[in-house]
Chain A
Amino acid sequence: MMDRSGAITYPMTWKKPPYIKNGSIRRSIYFFSALYLAAAFGTMDVNWTRVAEGLPRAERFLDAFFPPNFADNRGVVWDGIQESIWMAIISTVAGILLSVPIGLGAARNLAPKYIYLVNRAIIALSRTFPEIILAIFAVKLFGFGPFAGFIALSIGTIGFYAKLLAEDIENMSEDQAEAIKATGASWFQWINYAIQPQVMPRMIGLSVYRLDINFRESAVVGIVGGGGIGATLNTAFDRYEFDTAAAILLIIIGIVMCLEYVSGFLRNRVQ
């Protein structure tokens, strides 16, 4: 690019190079994605008359919810909440206790290959099933009640916590780990001095977050027979006591919001 006097001129426009370089591949990806989405929405057949019938029903539903009735079934509701809180706490604690060895074993930079594979398999398995399926299994095995819920939530916790722990360990600073190893520390001392300080803050935040999840899930697990507030909620619906159900839902929302606040606070503190 030279003008007549021989000086170099530089372009005055610049465009960001596209992520997918090949133009025809890029355009066909856009085209087929758009086509698929259009077809997908097209196949979903919305029956507008049914929607129209549903809306007034929703209104009646909401009417039945209000005003929420905190008084009539106070005893049962209180028992259910206590059971849920208890279930959430012990399943979080038990799940995390089991997650620590599994998470250590599932970190590629700590464990030998076969231990790594076994632990990854355990994690994958417990992540495959959502809590509600785990709860259905547990109820079949151990009968109705909070014990089944506890088992389901503990297994769910393992899939969540061990995976994130292993990933955090894999992302740790290699230097710090090497430095402690070079002092002649034993394996457990090495974990305690080099690994634990690096992963602890995030893990504390995640354990409160998991407590929050387990409390919410305890409401779902209860519906299939796993005890706790979910069982109470289910009974309330079965008996058409919508005002009590509304009260229960409000209480769940309140507790989840509290936990949200606590976990945010804790995360800031431990950084």
Chain B
Amino acid sequence: MLRIEDLNKKYPTGDEALKDVKLEVPKGQVMALIGPSGAGKSTLIRCVNRLVEPTKGKVFLGDLELTELSRWKLRQARRRMGMIFQEYALVERLTVMENVLSGRLGYVGFWRSWFRRFPGEDVREAYRLLDRVGLMEMADKRADELSGGQRQRVGICRALIQNPDLLLVDEPTASLDPKTSRQIMRLINELCDERSLAAIINIHDVLLAQMFSKRIVGLEQGSIVYDGPPEDLTPEVLTRIYGEENWEATIGKVEEENEEEDSTISKAAS
């Protein structure tokens, strides 16, 4: 689904954020990208939808080469890539519904979006998604009236209503408490399963990464230093990614513990 070839990014400040990164993510795979702060995780996913322009290298989405697209073509390609942000990045003064529907902007004309007259199917899909994440009654609230966990779920709806092939997720849980973090990760995983979406999830929490994805890629100083299943994340590997530290306590049992009480997002949660 996604293929990255020899991707390089050098910022004007001289930081070499990515060095010859090669990566392939097949359809339906949820991949966790871990690595220390400054490793280039955000840069990598931003180079995919070209919020950051790569310096060198190619990125393919299916057969489409993203790195050579004109502005207009890029706009169309961005519709196929949903993005979820650490600080949610909802437009705070817009309603929850407007935020969700903004995921359809690539598909509707300017005047329709200006008058907020989206096609009926889009509105229905927005309600369906909001119901799915348990925020049905919040549709008319302003985004800045929601809690962090609720905002992130709206962010997920906004990404999914694009009907994407690929999800780019930048530290979705970094601003959330441990329980809400798990709920959000589980939700993203379930939704990816339902739609067989490919996803790249940047995440700081190694344990969460191990719990929720079958493939983990470790990035360090712009290069991939680990690519494999969560079971193989040994203390040696973590030392290679993050540097020397006592890792024994960080590595979890890989099987996800079953917590019945929040196995699906309950409407009352957070």
Contact = CB atoms under 8 A, between A and B. Distances in A.
A180 B76 CA distance: 14
A176 B113 contact: no
Interface of B: 49, 51, 75-79, 81, 83, 85, 87, 89-94, 98, 102-107, 110, 113-114, 155, 158, 162, 168
B258 to A, nearest CB: 34
B93 A201 contact: yes
Contacts of A127: none
Given A175-B87, A179-B85, A185 B94 contact: no
Contacts of A181: 51, 78
Contacts of A185: 75, 102, 105-106, 113
Contacts of B114: 192
A65 interface: no
A179 B89 contact: yes
Nearest to B76: A184
Contact of B75 (A178, A184, A194): A184
27 contacts: A173-B92, A175-B85, A175-B89, A176-B89, A176-B90, A176-B91, A176-B92, A178-B85, A178-B89, A179-B89, A180-B102, A182-B83, A182-B168, A183-B102, A183-B104, A183-B162, A184-B79, A184-B107, A186-B75, A192-B110, A192-B114, A193-B98, A193-B105, A197-B92, A197-B93, A198-B92, A200-B93
Nearest to A180: B102
| SS of A interface (majority) | helix
A186 B98 CA distance: 16
Contacts of B92: 173, 176, 197-198
Nearest to A181: B51
A224 to B, nearest CB: 42
Contacts of A184: 75-79, 105-107, 162
Nearest to A199: B93
Task: Give the interface centre of A185, A190, A200 by most chain B CB atoms within 10 Å.
Answer: A185
Task: Give the interface centre of A175, A183, A197 by most chain B CB atoms within 10 Å.
Answer: A183
A189 B113 contact: yes
A178 B93 CA distance: 16
B49 A182 contact: yes
Contacts, number: 79
Contacts of A194: 91
Interface residues of A, number: 22
Interface of A: 173, 175-176, 178-186, 188-190, 192-194, 197-198, 200-201
B51 A183 contact: no
A163 to B, nearest CB: 22
B93 A193 contact: no
Contacts of A200: 93
B83 to A, nearest CB: 4
Contacts of B158: 179, 183
Nearest to A184: B106
A198 B51 CA distance: 20
A186 B110 CA distance: 8
Contacts of B75: 184-186
Contacts of A188: 110
B42 to A, nearest CB: 11
Contacts of A190: 105
Contacts of A179: 83, 85, 89-91, 155, 158
B242 to A, nearest CB: 26
Contacts of B106: 183-185
A188 B111 CA distance: 10
In order of increasing CB-CB distance, the 6 nearest A-B pairs are A184-B106, A185-B105, A179-B89, A184-B78, A184-B79, A175-B89
A84 B105 CA distance: 43
Contacts of B89: 175-176, 178-179
B105 A186 contact: yes
A201 B92 CA distance: 12
Nearest to B142: A197
Nearest to B102: A193
Given A181-B51, A182-B49, A193-B105, 9 more contacts: A178-B51, A178-B89, A179-B83, A182-B83, A183-B158, A184-B106, A185-B106, A189-B110, A193-B102
